[in-house]
Amino acid sequence: MSVSKIALCMGILSLMTVCCAKKQSVDSLIEDLENGYDHVRRQAMMNLLRRDKDEVVPPLIEVLRTGTRQAQYMAVQILGKMNDRRAVEPLIVLLKNTHHEYIRAATAEALGNLKDPRATDPLLRCMKDPHDVVRLKATFALGGMDDIRVVPPLMAALGDSVTGVRASALVSLDRIWPKVTEDVQKREILNGIEQAAVDTSAAVRYVAVQLLGSMGDRKAVPILIESLKDEHRPIRKKAAQSLGELGDQRAVAPLKELVNQGTKEEQGAAERALKRIMEGKNIPKK
């Protein structure tokens, strides 16, 4: 069989699959969430997401209550993408009652997507979960909540033993930053990020170095200058970019040194930062 005929047959089969999926009832699609084949479960998820919310949300909520572990996991992911507030309370109940950490993690992520204030306290409790995957998802989810009560737990998470949780806490602090109005709390956040810039993990240092520039922390200039000597090239490059954002004259000499001694990428970042400083294109002092 020629390549063109094979392609034609594959196209017809694909079209038939789509047409059949459209004819499937919601109940049938929900049954497929428990199918042993991942591609069948994923196809069912995609088709459920295309259906009307009023048709899909109530049976999915029932799956949260009575479904198998596999079905619950899939239902949580779908509900997290549907932006329907009817799912909030059932998801909170599942988060509290399930013994399976991956379902708790998926539920924390779903609640974070929904951004409903009712989820704030349950997510805060997840910050003490013994499983790092749950703490990670909860940490990121809290960054989307319009509640500055999340700041102290996020600050505490900067000391978590798991790299991903610490990095996620930094990202969430950046997301909640515009909602913080008290200068004392802002300074506490910046102090925490400054400490993260010398974290043992390169991934955490990278995020911290980036945020110190975007948040306008002039106090962090000496730390960023030291970061120009980091053993990891992406951090050195990011430090140069952040120093350019801050526009502080103290960075001129170290940046010139990077231009002379750095890699091509580092030289480019340092040159752009120097140009920005010289032209006064810096963000306001914090």
Q: What letter represents residue 180's amino acid?
A: V
Q: Does the residue 5 lie in any domain?
A: yes
Q: Does the residue 151 lie in any domain?
A: no
CA distance linking residue 217 with residue 214, whole number of Å: 8
| Mean pLDDT, rounded, for 177-186 | 95
CB 221 within 8 A of CB 246: yes
Give the three-class secondary structure for 28: helix
Domain limits for position 276: 191-286
Judged on CB neighbours under 10 Å (0-12, 13-18, 19+), 25 is exposed
CB 218 within 8 A of CB 283: no
Q: Work out whether the CA dihedral 78, 114, 165, 92 comes out positive or negative.
A: negative
C-alpha 139: how far from its chain's center? 9
Domain termination residue (choose one: 94, 114, 134): 114
Q: Does the residue 129 lie in any domain?
A: no
Domain termination residue (choose one: 57, 92, 114): 114
Give the position of tokens 């030291």: 226
| Mean pLDDT, rounded, for 26-40 | 90
Q: Residue 285 has what pLDDT?
A: 46
Q: Residue 36 has what pLDDT?
A: 86
Q: How many separate domains does the chain show?
A: 2
Residue 131: DSSP 8-state: S
Tokens of 41: 């479960």
Give CA torsion, residues 140, 144, 145, 148, to 10 deg.
80
Q: What letter represents residue 183's amino acid?
A: D
CB 141 within 8 A of CB 109: yes
In the predicted structure, residue 10 carries a pLDDT above the cut 90: no
CB 64 within 8 A of CB 75: yes
CA distance linking residue 102 with residue 87, whole number of Å: 18
The tens digit of pLDDT for each residue in 53-100 reads: 999 999 999 999 999 999 999 999 999 999 999 999 999 999 999 999
**What is the average pLDDT score of the chain?**
92
Q: Does the residue 139 lie in any domain?
A: no
Q: Does the residue 212 lie in any domain?
A: yes
| Mean pLDDT, rounded, for 15-24 | 55
CA distance linking residue 122 with residue 111, whole number of Å: 9
The tens digit of pLDDT for each residue in 146-168 reads: 999 999 999 999 999 999 999 99
Q: Does the residue 132 lie in any domain?
A: no
In the predicted structure, residue 4 carries a pLDDT above the cut 90: no
Domain identity same for 196 and 110: no
Q: Does the residue 57 lie in any domain?
A: yes
Domain termination residue (choose one: 53, 87, 114): 114
Domain identity same for 102 and 199: no
Domain identity same for 100 and 8: yes
Q: Does the residue 162 lie in any domain?
A: no
C-alpha count within 13 angstroms, C-beta hemisphere, residue 15: 6
CA distance linking residue 162 with residue 100, whole number of Å: 20
Residues 6+ apart with CB under 8 A from 113: 80, 81, 83, 141, 144
36: CATH: 1.25.10.10
